[in-house]
Structure 1
């Protein structure tokens, strides 16, 4: 680790060449989302009024072949952590657990960011089987009234279901190295 830090520092002084790859990389895997979070640069109804997002005909998901190539290149540059996120909700991508497994096979520490609405027993089981290291869930409300204001078109059952599923996941993963992080943004 010291050598890599020294290489990064030397690259800063040199200014022309990076002598080491990044410690971590964030990879967007999908632009599909089931919520319209107020602070989201991509789907916020507030931000999009100010800075409209260009219309696209189709949603895009990363292909498994591009993911493998990305993992191989990042691994070759000494990257050790991959953060899986998206301009949308990663759990809407059917092959998200295949992506995690591929990254784990290559030796990456893997973090998945989600809004938590698609957590269910099946997905929790796949998280454990794929050896996901950290699940980070972002919640934009701490009361039903705030949830209704923040997500006027969203299913209100999400407000109750997400915390219950997080409790279930904590029980399923108790004793493992898996870490669950909840970020409450209010």
Structure 2
């Protein structure tokens, strides 16, 4: 029988803040670059742990399932593969374990947009407010305008400082820690 210890603790999504004299960024971009690296590395560790879950759900010690799982190009595709494998695996097993696994997978899927913002953001200095991680100017779905105007900062969908990136990294770490199984 498989037992999942617990789902990650509740996580509060980041509030939308705009660069301003009250919400100032970092003194240089290097701290943002370093923090982005830590956050993305933590995400990849969580993804790697979830591969083991997939292997378990497929009831195989073979790496064939892991290799196939690794071809899914989006978090949503990997989430669906895990979810359907879990549904099948738990068909004649403990429903509570299924609920815990599905809960973990949902938390993983819901964290993906934050991972994508971190991975696809760029360190910029809007006006005199310090450096932030923001969407690039060409990211039409994350920006109102590609032009750096006086209102440029108002058009970005996120402005992350080190604290906000670390907040996401902590959540990614909790996803990794939650995925502990006994057999």
TM-score, with structure 2 as normaliser: 0.27
Which structure would you say has the larger RCO, counting Cα contacts within 8 Å and 6 or more residues apart? Answer: 2
TM-score by length of 1: 0.27
Give the strand-richer structure, 1 or 2: 1
